[in-house]
Structure 1
Amino acid sequence: MTRRNARRTAAEGATRPCPCGSAQAYGDCCGALHEGRAVAATAEALMRSRFSAYAVGDTAYLLRTWHSSTLPPRLTLDPGQRWTRLEILDTERGGMFDTVGVVEFRAHYRQSGRPGDVHERSRFARQDGQWVYLDAV
């Protein structure tokens, strides 16, 4: 793929609906966080951006937004798994003035043509002033 085609493909992806389920284009929503043009203001916003990172295959962002105490040495995504939809079921704290929060969600995917989902309560914390994923409860 030429550099020109790669730029066009990235620009087209930025205008597609964001995988997190917001009504915004990816480039204006989670794409801005993935590219470092914005930071997540809440734990839920970080959860949504991390789901989108799984959906677009952005392992660098996932690792960057993982708490240092639980950060895995590497992360390999399954290329056969396609993340399709996110449902936020509940949030506890995790607001703009909080230091910890919990987001319960259901993430839907397709693998080998079959649907599946992951149901999790994730804990988030602020580290160096930014929201990061800590672990699953």
Structure 2
Amino acid sequence: MLIQVELTRILIQETDDTHIVELREKDGERVMPITIGYYEAAAIERRLLGNLPPRPLTHELLANAIAQLGGKIDRIIISDLQEHTFFAQIVLSGREKEIVLDARPSDAIALGSATNVPLFIEDHILDQITKPF
């Protein structure tokens, strides 16, 4: 089952390579942090602060290409967790069919923040992450 989440916080550490986005259940209390790369973190932060680049960067370019080809980004899904690695999907609607693209969560979240589409997590991932030790 998919659980809708919201990006609630981004932590960019200037002295470390560890940058974190925090995703919170939209209608619940569970929170999930995901470690991401600097460039994706910076792209997400720029978008959240409303600092739009004068020219399209990678995530805006991809969104523009999808739109120009007649597609629409419907949703982003954090779909799996295997051996401490998260997996994501970008779900597109195209000409008469749905297309699912495999993606890194950091790229998918950055693309989602650039296009304001809903973000979901499979509930089994939230169950794994929020279990007490």
Shorter-chain TM-score above 0.5 = no
Query: What TM-score do the two structures reach when normalised by structure 2?
Result: 0.33
Between structures 1 and 2, the one with greater strand share: 2
More contact order relative to length (CA 8 Å, sep ≥ 6): 2
